[in-house]
Structure 1
Amino acid sequence: MRVLVTGAAGFIAHHVITRLLARGDTVIGVDNLESSGDVALKQARLTHLQSVPGAERFTCHRADITDTASLAALFRHEQPESVIHLAARVGVRSAGASAQSYLDANVTGFLQVLEQARAARVAHVVYASSSSVYGAGTPPPFAETAAADHPLNVYSATKRAGELLAHTYSHLYGLPTSGLRFFTVYGPWGRPDMAPLRFLRALREGLPIDLYGEGRMRRDFTHVDDVAEAVVRVLDRPPTGTPPYRLLNVGRGEPVSLRDFVAVLERHTGTQALLNPRPAQPGEMDATWSDSTALERETGFRPRVSVDEGLAGLVAWEREHSSRPPPAEPHEVDTVT
């Protein structure tokens, strides 16, 4: 299968692409390598993909999904059969300060992807949504049947808007779409601004760890290996209803408090944390909790990596990579014109 993956230099995309290549698919990556994230880390992920099994079937194009002409040219040239859309501006806390950039990437950008997928008659569009769409007032555990109409921040609102756009394209044009509501994804090659690697760095350097919500906030931490497996399984099973549209939670289903999460890291690192309890930040949910029944029904799979197992692996990975020099040869990324 020829699969186009947007956000190819991203965290989740790295693991999804690795799985696709391992099973024999051809992967066309798209990423603008923009500077809102860690560009060196994005480049390192792409470089690492050069060494995985099947790497000869991976190409990556530098393009912005909001650029209609470039994206249309890419679809015409590469002729993908399916699309996995993972490109986005991410982060709850920074969204309010740069709302327009979130709207541009997460709404306008996704609209362009949907439009090109429709024109190319692709078999399936799988796209990343977020557990944050559940917002305020959703009873736990969160089920896809909940209204999800009270977002607490700009990022969440843009992800919910993307779900509605996908439904529209499925309804009007019969384009099969599957939205995956990811729950607090962590693991190797993750974003350094997210709690797991931020906490690990603080433990290693003897720095205090800010625990928002006094450490009582609970998150349904879900390992990236489980997330990547879910993405690939969903890709292979397009929705067949009328319209061909669905939303699926991808979460472990076992929320953990931030204090308990740090305690597991302390045990695996042999280091006692310096904790700095702080009030919750505006726009953050008190807890997330996935009901992944629908995912299991549709794919025969539900996330299974425990926080203990996942953090043991992350600590080992972080130890190796914190002392490893940066790659000498950056991955070559084609520029779409």
Structure 2
Amino acid sequence: MNTRREPGPPGPPDRPPGPASRILLTGATGFVGRRLVRHLRAAGHQVTALVRGTSRTRALTAARVAVAVGDLGTGAGLRAAAEGADCVIHLAGTVSSRTARGYWRTNADGTRRLAGTLASLPDPPRLVLCSSLAAGGPSPDGRPRTEDQPAAPVSHYGRSKLAGEQAVREVSDALRAVVLRPPIVYGPGDPAFLPAVLAMVRAGVAVQAGRAPGRYSLLHVDDLCAALTAACAHGRPLRPADPVSGVHYLSDGAEHTWDAICRTVAAALGRGRPPVVTVPLAAARAAAALAEAVTLPSGRLPALTRDKVREMRHPVWTCSGEYGRQALELPPPLPFDVGVARYLARPTR
């Protein structure tokens, strides 16, 4: 693997966060955000959450997190919230939508507004952008994706996340910024991945779309939180003329087949390995379209969408976290079987 980075020209000076750094966090009420708040507060950082005026903030204030009202859609309140921050961790994003525009509005346009605002400050804070493996795309030739490979997203979600990265890169001559691309994230508070696998294992059958055996990278939410925190001080930043600089993939270091994932979860539950039933992609697309239509009146989105099926067409979604671990000075990641056992032991923590 070739992921060496050569030093670039001097950029804006860093303000490495100290023991009590001032960190502005977007997406603090989401799955990763709630867990990250715990990590940051436990480390002694001063945390301000950027929230919309309609957001529920009781849990944040109970965790001794300050609240700043701002809008990534209009830019209102962003400058006031960011002034004085040492680092901004940007988690807010749209993970499911019926339309490409639904993803673009937050993941690309909102990120562009935030990055532009930060770059315009007299003393810009460092920006840590939580992107996604989907921005890089599925694994080329079935091999784990690495930082030196060109991005090739295949879904509206992935393209919107890559556009957000590019928006940050455009102002990286004035703003120190680092991009993290995690794969599937699981752990305490997980709203989707582990609950879905657990439901299938308990039902005695695991469903997979397409006939090719799937392989995936995984990451425990606590390892992602450690990486996000470390990126406030470590990691080579983006450079305008280099399309791969400043990007860091993350993973637990293993390639997980769908069968092995189900087997690990089944073992943790004390059950036998469930059989894996394949569903044709055409049937998955039809089911996703029907689910989107049925949920349209309520405004909610189903777990399976047509955009998710676009990603399912590619069975291998793996990445190497080697460079990211070294650049961010991270400890060894949590193995999947240990992470599942901890999840089941304390599912609400």
Check if 1:283 corresponds to 2:338.
no
- Following superposition, the deviation at residue 180 of structure 1 comes to 0.3
- TM-score of the pair, normalised by structure 1: 0.78
Kept in 2, the 8 Å contact 1:227–1:303? The answer is no
Structure 1: distance between partners of 2:330 and 2:208: 33
Check if 1:8 corresponds to 2:28.
yes
- Following superposition, the deviation at residue 240 of structure 1 comes to 6.2
Aligned to 1:114: 115
Structure 1: distance between partners of 2:204 and 2:251: 30
Check if 1:101 corresponds to 2:102.
yes
- Following superposition, the deviation at residue 279 of structure 1 comes to 3.0
Structure 2: distance between partners of 1:238 and 1:297: 9
Range moving further from structure 2, 233-242 or 128-137: 233-242
Q: Deviations over 1:215-241 (max 9, x none)?
A: 821111111111111111111226468
Aligned to 1:128: 130
Structure 1: distance between partners of 2:201 and 2:235: 43
- Following superposition, the deviation at residue 10 of structure 1 comes to 1.1
SS at 1:248 equivalent:
strand
Equivalenced residue count is 295
Q: Which runs of 5+ in 1 are unaligned?
A: 322-337
Q: 2:323 aligns with which of 247, 270, 294?
A: 294
- Following superposition, the deviation at residue 68 of structure 1 comes to 1.5
Kept in 2, the 8 Å contact 1:252–1:290? The answer is no
Q: Which runs of 5+ in 2 are unaligned?
A: 1-20, 282-308
Q: Deviations over 1:39-86 (max 9, x none)?
A: 9xxx6xx666566xxx32x1234543112123334335xx32210000
Kept in 1, the 8 Å contact 2:138–2:316? The answer is no
Aligned to 1:154: 156
- State percent identity of aligned pairs: 22
**Alpha carbons of structure 1 residues 118 and 195: separation in structure 2 relative to 1, 3 Å:** same
Kept in 1, the 8 Å contact 2:128–2:228? The answer is yes
Please list, as runs of the form range in 1=range in 2, the aligned pairs for 1:26-65 lying within 5 A after superposition: 26-32=46-52, 55-56=63-64, 58-61=65-68, 63-65=70-72
SS at 1:126 equivalent:
strand
- Following superposition, the deviation at residue 248 of structure 1 comes to 0.5
Aligned to 2:216: 219
RMSD across aligned positions (CA): 2.7
Structure 1: distance between partners of 2:275 and 2:254: 26
Structure 1: distance between partners of 2:60 and 2:229: 17
Kept in 1, the 8 Å contact 2:180–2:249? The answer is yes
Aligned to 2:178: 178
Q: Deviations over 1:7-42 (max 9, x none)?
A: 1111112222211111111111123498xxxx9xxx
Kept in 1, the 8 Å contact 2:70–2:76? The answer is no
Aligned to 2:193: 195
Matching residue's letter, 1:289: T
Aligned to 2:42: 22
Aligned to 1:334: none
**Alpha carbons of structure 1 residues 239 and 9: separation in structure 2 relative to 1, 3 Å:** same
Please list, as runs of the form range in 1=range in 2, the aligned pairs for 1:186-335 lying within 5 A after superposition: 186-191=186-191, 194-204=192-202, 206=203, 209-214=206-211, 216-237=213-234, 239=236, 246-272=246-272, 273=274, 275-280=276-281, 281-284=309-312, 285-301=314-330, 303-318=332-347
**Alpha carbons of structure 1 residues 137 and 290: separation in structure 2 relative to 1, 3 Å:** closer
Structure 1: distance between partners of 2:235 and 2:52: 28
SS at 2:164 equivalent:
helix
- TM-score of the pair, normalised by structure 2: 0.76
Q: Deviations over 1:131-155 (max 9, x none)?
A: 112325624221111011x321100
